[in-house]
Amino acid sequence: MALGFMKNVFTFGKKDAPKDEQTVLPEDETEAPEAATPEPEAPAETVTEVESADPWDDDSIVGGVVGPSQSEPEEPATPEEPAAETPTAPEAPPAVEEPAVDEPAAEALPEAEQQPDPAAPKNRGFEITSGAKPEAVPSQPAKRLSWFQRLKAGLFRTSQQLSGQIAALFTKRKLDEEALEELEDLLIQADLGVETAMRITDTLSSERYGRDVTGTDVSRIMAGEITKVLGPVAKPLALDLSKKPHVILVVGVNGTGKTTTIGKLAAKLTGAGLKVTLGAGDTFRAAAIEQLKIWADRTGADFVGTKLGADAAGLAYDAFKRGQENGSDVVIIDTAGRLQNKAELMDELAKIVRVLGKLDPDAPHTVLQTLDATTGQNAMNQVEIFRNIAGVSGLVMTKLDGTARGGILVAIAAKHKLPVYFIGVGEGIDDLEPFEAEEFAQAIAGTTEEEQA
């Protein structure tokens, strides 16, 4: 399956060449059937045709732009001609090699079949606390790495930097006061925060003081203490559908992934059978409006937009009303977030909150702030500002795959104790997943479940 996809990518736009070869080779064999030279070419042609007959050889896989190849109906007939014309023994080796080409696809099938028990509900990162629960749309089998594997890959730079420094610190050295102070400084520099750094060093001191210490010992204790800090904030997004629509206001600095996060969240909600309306409240950027419209089309959500520079509070009003009229379960509203004009845009954000409050005293029901992990300590200041203006009730951490400063989430959780609903480690629609404290801690510390046990 994977080889079919790779072959399709590298031959995209060059499919005319194989067709010409297929028409020339049979003619050569017909004109000189007794010649010895065309015979070695027949196995090569057979292998080429078998590869092109891969059921995953479909240009529609690449972004859905191009449909299936028009030459597919001719492919089954082409392999049969060499088989009939050349029944000699030398052709047996290529026939034996054909399964070897398809073996990766065959091996991928059991992985797709190993689905979790349907009786065990999947953690989607949100839960419906009251109201009717719609029937969920069946999900397709995953054909990628597991979420934990992607999380470890995304946090590799963070864990590699930490583990390398820790290993260098405790090479052939006993744990003493000087070593503990150096470790504490190292953890603070990694943006884990003073409180978490002290917890780790205190626990390490109580267990190993005066004894030899390895990097594995420190990583194990670090993962355990980070889990204790993050455990209380790892919560699902609660949706009260007894009153519709549930309004989610998404805030954050531009560049933190607000619009993309809204699209991914909409995909999760519509996949669970909920009706969603998206409001393009970032009226300062034309690209944000267009991008949210694309996400609405992709996820099947309703879209409410306006012209560039329009009043964002008025857009929020329209989105809420549209959600009421079309029976939406959830309305998600995007906002502008340029901190360089902090006073003006923060006043506008406060106005949006007031307008929604007039339509529903409890609205917005959820204020979700997106944070860019690459900003490090600046993310801590952003939480402080938006929490005071908009009453942030939960966080989403994005771009963890592009930084060595992923530990900032631990420091934010320790200080603000706000729920962390989702984290993102990529641009794909499935790269936004519910936040799991233990998995995150293990990925940062570079440990595994076996090491923790």
pLDDT of residue 211: 81
Q: Count Cα neighbours of 121 within 13 Å in the Cβ-side half-sphere.
A: 8
The amino acid present at 199, given as its one-letter code, is: R
The residue count of the chain comes to: 453
Dig out the tokens for 330 from the structure.
Answer: 């959830």
Strands 420-424 and 432-434: antiparallel
pLDDT of residue 190: 84
The amino acid present at 124, given as its one-letter code, is: R
Query: Could you give the C-alpha distances from 1 to 81, 107, 200, in angstroms and in order?
Result: 26, 9, 45
DSSP 131: S
Of residues 450, 403, 436, the one with CA closest to residue 216: 450
CB-based contacts of 347, cutoff 8 Å, min separation 6:
none
Handedness of CA 357, 362, 364, 368 (dihedral sign): positive
Look-up: residue for tokens 């065990």?
A: 120
The amino acid present at 356, given as its one-letter code, is: L
Q: How far is CA 128 from the centre of its chain?
A: 23
* Contact in structure between 108 and 4 (CB atoms under 8 Å): no
Look-up: residue for tokens 């917005």?
A: 364
Handedness of CA 39, 41, 44, 45 (dihedral sign): negative
pLDDT of residue 97: 43
pLDDT of residue 145: 63
* Contact in structure between 309 and 286 (CB atoms under 8 Å): no
Dig out the tokens for 51 from the structure.
Answer: 């590869």
The amino acid present at 87, given as its one-letter code, is: P
* Contact in structure between 59 and 67 (CB atoms under 8 Å): yes
Task: Quote the Cα angle for 119-122-127, to 5°.
Answer: 110
pLDDT of residue 163: 78
pLDDT of residue 216: 85
pLDDT in single tens digits along all 453 residues of the chain = 444 444 444 444 444 444 444 444 444 444 444 444 444 444 444 444 444 444 444 444 333 333 444 444 444 444 444 444 444 444 444 444 444 444 444 344 444 344 555 555 667 777 887 777 776 656 554 455 666 677 767 676 677 777 788 878 877 678 888 889 998 998 888 888 899 999 999 999 988 888 888 888 888 999 999 999 999 999 999 998 888 899 999 999 888 889 999 999 999 999 999 999 999 999 888 889 999 999 999 999 999 999 888 999 999 999 999 999 999 999 999 998 766 556 777 888 899 999 999 999 999 999 999 998 888 888 888 998 898 888 999 999 988 776 667 788 999 999 999 999 998 877 777 778 899 999 888 888 887 654 444
Report the alpha-carbon distance of residue 396 to residue 221 in Å, rounded: 26
pLDDT of residue 154: 66
pLDDT of residue 335: 93
